[in-house]
Structures are given as structure tokens and as C-alpha cells.
Amino acid sequence: MSKAKQLHGFLWLTRPLMQRVEDMVRRGLEGTGLTVRMRAVLEILDARGALSVPDIARALEVKRQYVQLMVNDVIEAGLAEKRDNPRHRASPLIALTEAGAALISEVLAAERTRAGDLADDFTEEELETALRVAERLTGALSDGDRT
Amino acid sequence: MSKAKQLHGFLWLTRPLMQRVEDMVRRGLEGTGLTVRMRAVLEILDARGALSVPDIARALEVKRQYVQLMVNDVIEAGLAEKRDNPRHRASPLIALTEAGAALISEVLAAERTRAGDLADDFTEEELETALRVAERLTGALSDGDRT
DNA sequence: CAGTATTGACAATATATTTGTCATTATGAC
DNA sequence: GTCATAATGACAAATATATTGTCAATACTG
């Protein structure tokens, strides 16, 4: 099989794979009161600390107006809170509350456990290669069209 | 880095990667009059021959009611047509017209060219591994939850 | 300090897709 | 064959996931 054909096959697997991943995540969220979009906000605040709404939007690659909705969700749920932003009086930083930090840790730990189970079926080299290919491909496709 | 962590990283790359793939496809469709959802129908009819609407729905893993809309699009554009279905009088087979067959061939050829360009940055073994991991992972995640 | 960019807040719109329903048609058990 | 059950088309409504538009307040740059 040609490389082009292999890559085409890989590219078209990304959609069903992504859907299954999101379904898995959604199941992991059952009982937590979280939605997938709330989880995304909590995860990035957990990884990067307090951020403003536009910061989160850039990280998630969605519009800031939509991030406002996501952030409103988590604030309303008591999982994050606004803090003064020294760099912009009217644009507060969004930070995890204790409850939010505890919840996202728990969720991520459960996901890691599940990922560990799945990872048992692969060698470290396979996973390393798959990750590297996906990363480089994502980068190449971000640059815009060269064709 | 642990295998679980590698896999977790890979899983979370599927969404941005898929979005970039779809953007690439969308750009390839400019000027053809096709939408991504029309392209999906044409592709599967090209690969598998005439199918009924529910057959397409099962293949694409979306609801048959939505496939009806997709199929209406391509029929209205003259790219596919209804044919008698020997197995179900009221559920016609959907088949590519000549115009539809020509158009999807052209689109797929352009995509394969683009995939070939991207594939140049990888070895055959890398692509083979990435494809295999993605396939097995998709399969594993289809079975439902084992965790 | 003037002009431009960023931000929050809120409304409207778009896109993709699912869910609900009903009448028609097929299928399988008897 | 007949009856219950499932599959299908057609159409409407609802839902999820965003984007786009707009305005006033705030920040940044020359």
C-alpha cells in the first residue's frame, strides 16, 4: 500500500476515532455533573493555571464568545471563580476553585486509568510513533495549504 | 513517558487533527459545489456501489433521517439517483450518476495528491504503525466500556 | 492624547445532527 | 396466509455546538 493511501486511511479514521474518544469521555463524566465543554475548561485551567477567557479561547481554538458560555457553566457550578487580572481590569482571570481542582483531578485520573487499560494492547514504540505522527500531521495541517 | 500518558496525549490530539483534516477537505471542495456531507455520501457510493439510505446511515454511523438530507442534496445536484431496490420496493438504492462518479473521482484524486505530499514527511513504517494503532483503538473503543 | 485592538456582555444566526411521529412496506413466527 | 414486529420514507421539531455581529468599556501604541 502506498504511503499516500495509508495516510489517507489514517486521516479518515480521525473522525470516528474522535467520536469514540468523546463518547468515552462523556461516559466518564456521568455522575459528575460535568459536560464535555465544562471538562475542557477545567482541564486547561488545571494544566495552565488561571487564564482569561480569551486565553482559554486561543488554547482551545474556539471563539472567545463561546468560551464565555463554557466558563459561565463552570463558574455557576462553583468549579471556577473570577480573580482580579493585574493585566486587564475588566478581563478577570478564571481560576479553579478547590472543588473544581478536586473534581478535574478525579476525572483525569479515571481517564488515565482507562487509557492505561487501552495502552496495554500496544507497545511503547507503537504509541510513541502514533503520537509523533499525529503531532507532526496536526502541525503540518495548521500551516494552511501548501498544495 | 508512560504508555497511558502517551495514549492520553494521542487521544486528545484526535479532535484538533480531525478538525484540520476536515478543513483541508473543505478547501479541496471549494469550486466543486460539494459540501463535506455530500462528499461523504459520494465517497461511500463510490467505494461500495449503490446502497439504500439506511445502509449509508449504518456505514457513516449517523441516523438515517440525517442521511436522507445528505442524499437529497446529492440527488438534487444530479450526482446520484434512485434505482429500484429488489429487496425493498419503497426503499430505493442510491447510485452515483456519471456526473457524480466523475466528480468524486476527481475530488478523491486531489485528496490523494495532497495526502502524498504530507506523507513525504514520514516513513512508510511510521504511517503503517499510526494507521494500525488508530484502527485497533477505534475497534477497542467501539466495543463499549470495559472499564 | 489620539487611534487601534482587546474584552465582556448579549443577541442572532449557522451548522450538524438527533429525536419524534406517522403511514407504508417488509419479515419472521406460527 | 395472517399477525405481530421491524425497517423505511417523509417531514417536523428539538438539541448541541458553535460562529458572527454589535456595543460600550478598557487597554495598548505611537
> Tens digits of per-residue pLDDT, B22-65?
999 999 998 898 999 999 999 999 999 999 999 999 999 999 99
CATH of the domain at B131: 1.10.10.10
* Residue A146, pLDDT score: 32
Could you list the residue range(s) of the whole structural domain that residue B60 is in? Answer: 31-136
Res B71: pLDDT: 95
Are the CB atoms for A138 and B12 separated by under 8 Å?
no
Bridge partners of A51, per DSSP, are A94
What confidence tens digit (pLDDT) does each residue in B32-42 have? Answer: 989 999 999 99
Contact A130 B133 (CB under 8 A): yes
Task: Cell numbers for A7, please give them.
Answer: 495516510
Asked if residue A108 is part of any domain, the answer here is: yes
The predicted structure's pLDDT at residue B91: 87
- Would A31 be classed as within a structural domain? yes
The string of DSSP codes covering chain A is --HHHHHHHHHHHHHHHHHHHHHHHHHHHTTTT--HHHHHHHHHHHHH-SEEHHHHHHHHTS-HHHHHHHHHHHHHTTSEEEE--TT-TTSPEEEE-HHHHHHHHHHHHHHHHHHHHHHTTS-HHHHHHHHHHHHHHHHHHHT----
Residue B120: inside a domain, yes or no? Answer: yes
Per-residue pLDDT in tens (0 to 9) along chain A, 147 residues: 788 989 998 998 999 999 999 999 999 998 898 999 999 999 999 999 999 999 999 999 999 999 999 999 999 999 999 998 887 878 899 999 999 999 999 999 999 999 999 999 999 999 999 999 999 999 999 864 333
CB nearest to A20's CB, from B7, B9, B138: B138
CB contacts, 8 Å: B16 with chain A? 61, 138
The residue written with cell numbers 498544495 in the block is: A147
**How high is the pLDDT of residue B107?**
95
How many domains does one find in chain B? Answer: 1
